[in-house]
Structure 1
Amino acid sequence: MTPVTDGKNAPIGLVVLDMAGTTVADEGLVERAFESAAAELGVRPGSAEHAAHLAHVRATMGESKISVFRHLFGDEERARRANAAFEAAYGRLVGEGHCAPVPGARAAIERLRAEGRTVVLTTGFARVTQDAILTALGWTGLADLTLCPADAGRGRPFPDMVLTALLRTAAVDAVQRIAVAGDTSYDMLSGRRAGASLVAGVLTGAHDETALRAAGATAVLPSVAELPGLIAEYES
C-alpha cells in the first residue's frame, strides 16, 4: 500500500462495489438462470455436460457472463444465444422479487457517500439486467455511477471496470486511493490488477475466505456492511 508523505495511508476517495453476492442477495439466481441458458442450447439437466458447465459457472462467478458462455459453447452465435436466454431468465426472476439488498448494504453505501467518497456499482451482467436489479431494489441513483462490462471493454478478472470507474468519475488522483469489494476471486483479481490499495472480500456470496485470499484480498469481511469501518481503520 502506498503511504502519503505524513506516513498515513492515502485516503480512500473511490469505492468500487460488486452487486450480486456483495451488495445484492440474489437467492442463487445465477444458477437458476443458467438452467434456462443451458436448455436454450440443448444441454440436458442431469447430463455430464450440464454438470461440467454448472461447475464452470460456479468457478467463474463474477466474470462477464458473455465471456463465460463463450468458453462453454465455443462459437459466438451460440454464446450470444445462451447469454440472451440467461439475461432474460435472470431479469424475469428479479422482476418476480427474487432479489434483495444484502443487510446493511444500502446504509454502507449511503455512509460512504456521506463521508465524501464516490461509490460505483459494478456487475458481470449486461446493462439491461443491471438496470432491472437497480429498479427492483429502488437503487436507481443510490451510487454515483453504475458500470457493466460493455461500459469498460472487458469484464472481470480484468481491471477495466475499476479503471473505468476512476476515469469516468475523476474522483481520485491515484489508484492507491481506490477500494474494491466483492464476493468472488475475480473481484479480487480485478481490484489488485487495477492497483487498488484496499481489496476486500465479503462472505455473503460465491467464494469462501480461502479462495478470496488466494486471489489477493487484502481483507475478508462478513459483509459489505463492515466496509466503511474497514476504510476508516485503514485511514487512521
Structure 2
Amino acid sequence: MQRLAPGAAGALLPRYLAQPAFFPLIAAVLEDRQDGTVLVDDPANPRQAYVEHRFGFAQAFGDASPAFEAALDAYLTDRRGFAVEKVRLYTPLLPACLAAPAFQPMRSERQRYRLPMPPAMMPAGEARPATLADAAELQARFGIVTRFWRSPADFVAGAQAQLIRRDGQVAALCYAAATGGGRAEIDVLTDPAFRRQGLARQAVGAFIAACAAARLEPVWDAFTNNLPSVRTALSMGFRPESAPYAFFTIPRA
C-alpha cells in the first residue's frame, strides 16, 4: 500500500465515478479540489485505492487485492496509522476485519438522498450567498470553512453557501462540504435559537437554486437516526437513492 503524491490521483477519478456509489468528499480529493491522502496497491498501475479526506471521510474502491486489503486492515485497526482524529468510512467496500464483533459499536447507518428530477426554481426568502466576511464568522463559530475547503476564498467560490442572518448573526446556513464528480455534498446548520422557523428550508432552497445555476447536482447524506435532517431532506423533494448503507467511525485511539 503506497501513498500517491498530492495531485497525482486524477487518473483514478473515472474509475471512482463509475461506481454505483460515489461521494463528493472523496471525488474532491481525487480532483485535487480538497486535501487528503490516496493510498494504492501499485502507483504505476493502481487497481485498488483508499482515499481519506483530511477531515476523515474515507472510501476504498477498485478491484479487490488481498495484499492491499491486508495492509489497509492493519492501517485501520492494528496500527491506526491515520493522522485524523477518526476515520469516517463509507461503504460499499469494507475490509473484512470490520465484520468482527469489536467493530460493531463503530457501525452506524447512513442514507443517501437525491432529487428525482431537475428542481423547479425555489424562492430564496431571506437567504443570500455567503461572502468572505461571512466566512470569517462561520469559521470562528463553527469551524466549517477550513475543515473542508483550503481557504475562505475557496469556500466562498466553491461551496455555493447560502445563509440567513437574524439579530446580527448567522441563523441558518446551507453549503457544500465538497463538490466533485458534478455533485455537491449538502451540509445544513441552524442556530438552536432559530430552529423551527423554516430557516433551514429557505437556505436549502437557495442552495438548490445556486447548484442548478452552477450545473451541480445537490446530494444529501444523513445518519438514519438524524430525524431532523431526514425530514428536511424529504420536505425539499429529496428521495432515498437506495437502501441505507453501513458507515464505520473508527477512532485513532
Q: Name whichever structure is richer in strand by fraction.
A: 2
TM over 0.5: no
Larger radius of gyration: 2
Flag the structure with higher helix content: 1
